[in-house]
C-alpha cells in the first residue's frame, strides 16, 4: 500500500514539474514548496552550482527567508 502512495505522489509531482518546465520561477517555487511539505523543513533553498561558477540561489521558500540566504 505504501509503495502505491509514493508512486502516486511522485507521478503527481512529475506531472506538475513538466507543466512548469517552461517557467523557471514558477518551477522553482513549486519544487521548494513540495520539498518543504515532504520533509517538514522550515526553509528550503535550491542553489545552482556549475564547475566553473560560484553557487547561485535559484529559489527560497518561504520567500520571507530570502534575506537569510
Reading the chain (69 residues) residue by residue, the pLDDT tens digits are 567 888 888 888 889 888 888 888 888 889 899 889 889 999 999 999 889 989 999 899 998 888 877
Q: Note the pLDDT of residue 1.
A: 52
Can you give the pTM of this predicted structure?
Answer: 0.68
Torsion from C-alpha of 53, 55, 56, 58, nearest 10 degrees: 130
Q: Note the pLDDT of residue 2.
A: 67
HEC string of the chain equals: CHHHHHHHHHHHHHHHHHHHCCCHHHHHHHHHHHHHHHHCCCCEEEEECCCCCCCEEEEEECHHHHHHC
Q: Note the pLDDT of residue 36.
A: 92
Amino acid at each position: 500500500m505504501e509503495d502505491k502512495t509514493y508512486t502516486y505522489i511522485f507521478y503527481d509531482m512529475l506531472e506538475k514539474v513538466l507543466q512548469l518546465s517552461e517557467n523557471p520561477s514558477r518551477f522553482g517555487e513549486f519544487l521548494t514548496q513540495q520539498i518543504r511539505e515532504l520533509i517538514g523543513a522550515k526553509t528550503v533553498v535550491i542553489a545552482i552550482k556549475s564547475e566553473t561558477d560560484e553557487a547561485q540561489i535559484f529559489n527560497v521558500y518561504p520567500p520571507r527567508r530570502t534575506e537569510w540566504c
